[in-house]
Amino acid sequence: MITVTDLVDSLGAGFLRTVVAAGDADVHDVALAEPGDAVARPGELVLGVGVTDPDGAVTLLERAARASAGGVVLKSPFAGDPRVAAAARELAGPALVELQPHTSWAHVVWLLRGVIDRAAAPDTSRLGSPGPHVDLFALADAAAEIIDAPVTVEDAQSRVLAYSARQDTTDPARVSTIVGRRVPPETLTHFRAGGVFRRLARSSEPIWTPAGPDGTLPRLIIPVRAGGEWLGSIWAVVRSPVPPERIRELGDVASVLALHLLRLRAEAGIARRVSTGRLRVALREGTASLTGSGTVAGSGVAGAGAAPALPAGPWRVVVLGSPAGTDVRRQLDLWESVALRFGWHQPLLTDLDGALFGLVTERPRGRRPVTAGALADAGAGTLDWLRHVLREVHAHDPGLYAVAGCPARTPDELPWATAEAGELHRLVGAGRLPLPDRTGLLLMEDAWDTVVVERAAAAVGVDAGLLGGPLGALRAHDEEHGTAYRETLAAWLDHYGDPRSAARLLRVHPNTLRYRLRKLEEVAPVDLTSPRVRLALRLQLMATTEGPRPPVTGQL
């Protein structure tokens, strides 16, 4: 990683200047702050693109501080304003950095992102060979030299893996691609309409695309394939056709690049198995053994052996549900995609006993609930973040939901919290617990009464007649004479003291209800004035009339 101080020093005082330092916070990414947008995540350097006055600068500093951002970059004169500097000192973080007034924000992004990504790319040369992420940037630079144009390397999902240091020729689509680390939707639509991705998936031939709408410049695209499989592509912004000999040289670069992409994919698979395995151990045994370096900046792909560290607690163990019939491996792929789309770049997910579990952090006390406009303030991977994500996706895909046990405040409590989340999930699957219509998120605090009753009913067992109570005789009478004494008794107990409501539930007259009660007491005398008897009878009725209960106790 690189600190804010190192970043400013590396680019020189004629470009950036530290106004208010804030320790040696690491910076792992760059975020653009437009008015009204979410600000940043911890460790990001926030660029105040939309700041137009000192008040806006102070507001941005406050929001960045809440998000634990590493620093805020403002143009002169706002960064040097005494009130802005005083606010930065009072907040004691993030660092306040001044950018020279005539510098292009796009130019800033290229420079900062290049320094940060190259600093974060793991170098495994000590093992005898350069790391694949370092090589990706080197290959992008080599391709740029061959074709004399700026280059990006993208995977098959249009995510930016690396780009050349040279970025002199640009257009809005290219700025958005590198800032967002993936091709923006409107640009994807443009290239998809031209059949670019269909040709990339089917052919190894280079693709030339003419200029497009909104200032999109022409592109030369070289597919990257291995064994017939499309792994990614090289994209170059070129203003005129490229000579065939240079295209052949780019093809050679693509062949080398394919080997690195295969290696990255293998490492990502290993990292994912390591991460899910360690989380599985933590949920089963309560150990905080999750360690690792996380994902590589700019790639979205974890390095070999990387696994997310266990964040600071307290935690919520959640079970993430998907449409019926989806196996747990496909659920893992689906929820990883959702998590990444909403900014959780190192999701803590694992399969456990046939269900998909996740670990999110509890919202600190005193914090206000997250709103759609303050998602970054909640932090990806928190319970508030999950609630917001479910609101967004549940409307379009009601099959996605989550259930969460009570907070676990120490690692030793994780197995207990895991058992609770699994318990709720089984009750939802058995149709005994409804999910909230709008959010799709169910907490143990919202369902504790149902869980208590279900646990008690499960302990009673399905053959309640062996306990010597009256239900054995009532069940025999109902089966022999076709009466409905058990149903009548259940309605009476559920509406105790309100015979009209009980009769309405049974769709009979209240006098008919009273008659049935007198007759059932003749079959099996019972003291319904006793609260303990009523509770025991209701639990027995649940166990005998609603079938076997899902398992509700014990650790997973």
Amino acid at site 262: L
Please choose, from the candidates 527, 529, 498, 502, the residue with its C-alpha nearest in 3D space to the C-alpha of residue 516.
Answer: 502
Cβ-Cβ contacts under 8 Å for 405 (sequence gap 6 or more): 316, 317, 318, 416, 417, 418, 419, 420, 421, 423, 424, 444
Of 461 and 415, the one with more pLDDT: 415
The residues of the chain that CATH labels 3.40.1390.20 are 2-113
Give the rounded percent of residues in the chain with a pLDDT score beyond 70.
75
Q: What is the pLDDT of residue 377?
A: 41
Taking residues 322-350, report their average pLDDT.
81
Q: What is the pLDDT of residue 180?
A: 57
Query: Does position 420 have pLDDT exceeding 90, yes or no?
Result: yes
Rounded to 10 deg, the angle between the 531-545 and 444-460 helix axes is 80
Q: What is the pLDDT of residue 93?
A: 76
Confidence of residue 317 (pLDDT cuts 50, 70, 90): very high
Instruction: Write down the CATH number for the domain with range 464-545.
Output: 1.10.10.2840
Beta bridge partners of 159: 182
CA dihedral 252, 258, 260, 266 (to 10 degrees): -170
Query: Does position 355 have pLDDT exceeding 80, yes or no?
Result: yes
How far is CA 460 from each of CA 116, 424, 469, 509, rounded to the nearest angstrom? 61, 19, 12, 32
Q: What is the pLDDT of residue 176?
A: 62
Q: What is the pLDDT of residue 353?
A: 86
Cβ-Cβ contacts under 8 Å for 153 (sequence gap 6 or more): 136, 139, 140, 143, 160, 161, 162, 163, 224, 232, 233, 234, 235, 257
The DSSP letter of residue 36 is T
| Dist. CA 311–CA 184, nearest whole Å | 31
Q: What is the pLDDT of residue 553?
A: 45
Of 520 and 343, the one with more pLDDT: 520
Confidence of residue 266 (pLDDT cuts 50, 70, 90): low
**Residue 150, class by beta-carbon neighbours within 10 Å (0-12 exposed, 13-18 middle, 19+ buried)?**
buried
Q: What is the pLDDT of residue 269?
A: 61
Instruction: Write down the CATH number for the domain with range 122-265.
Output: 3.30.450.40
Side-chain half-sphere CA neighbours of 527 within 13 A: 5
Q: What is the pLDDT of residue 386?
A: 92
Q: What is the pLDDT of residue 40?
A: 65
Confidence of residue 316 (pLDDT cuts 50, 70, 90): very high
| Dist. CA 350–CA 273, nearest whole Å | 9
Taking residues 158-171, report their average pLDDT.
72
Query: Does position 362 have pLDDT exceeding 90, yes or no?
Result: no
Beta bridge partners of 219: 209, 237
| Dist. CA 65–CA 57, nearest whole Å | 12
Give the rounded percent of residues in the chain with a pLDDT score beyond 90.
10
pTM: 0.53
Contact 272, 303 (CB under 8 A): no
Taking residues 526-555, report their average pLDDT.
70
Per residue, the 3-state secondary structure of 227-256, as one string, reads CCEEEEEEEEECCCCCCHHHHHHHHHHHHH
Amino acid at site 178: I
Strand order in the sheet with 207-209: 160-163, 151-155, 229-237, 219-226, 207-209
Distance between the two ends of the chain, CA-based, in angstroms? 38
Cβ-Cβ contacts under 8 Å for 86 (sequence gap 6 or more): none
Q: What is the pLDDT of residues 108-118, one digit of tens each?
A: 776 677 667 65
Q: What is the pLDDT of residues 171-185, one digit of tens each?
A: 666 666 665 556 667
Q: Mean pLDDT in the chain? A: 77
Taking residues 366-393, report their average pLDDT.
67
Q: What is the pLDDT of residue 296?
A: 32
Taking residues 371-391, report their average pLDDT.
71
Taking residues 412-419, report their average pLDDT.
92
Confidence of residue 299 (pLDDT cuts 50, 70, 90): very low
Taking residues 463-488, report their average pLDDT.
79
Q: What is the pLDDT of residue 408?
A: 92
Query: Does position 295 have pLDDT exceeding 80, yes or no?
Result: no
How far is CA 13 from each of CA 7, 18, 78, rounded to the nearest angstrom? 11, 9, 17
Taking residues 230-258, report their average pLDDT.
87
Instruction: Write down the CATH number for the domain with range 2-113.
Output: 3.40.1390.20
Contact 416, 79 (CB under 8 A): no
Query: Does position 125 have pLDDT exceeding 60, yes or no?
Result: no
- Class assignment of domain 311-456? alpha beta
Query: Does position 554 have pLDDT exceeding 60, yes or no?
Result: no
Task: Select, from the ranges 113-122, 160-169, 364-373, the one with the highest average predicted confidence (pLDDT).
Answer: 160-169
Q: What is the pLDDT of residue 109?
A: 76
The residues of the chain that CATH labels 1.10.10.2840 are 464-545
Give the lowest-confidence range in 39-48, 128-137, 186-195, 374-383: 128-137
Beta bridge partners of 435: none
| Dist. CA 421–CA 413, nearest whole Å | 13
Taking residues 223-246, report their average pLDDT.
85
Query: Does position 257 have pLDDT exceeding 80, yes or no?
Result: yes
Using only the alpha carbons of the chain, give its radius of gyration. 31
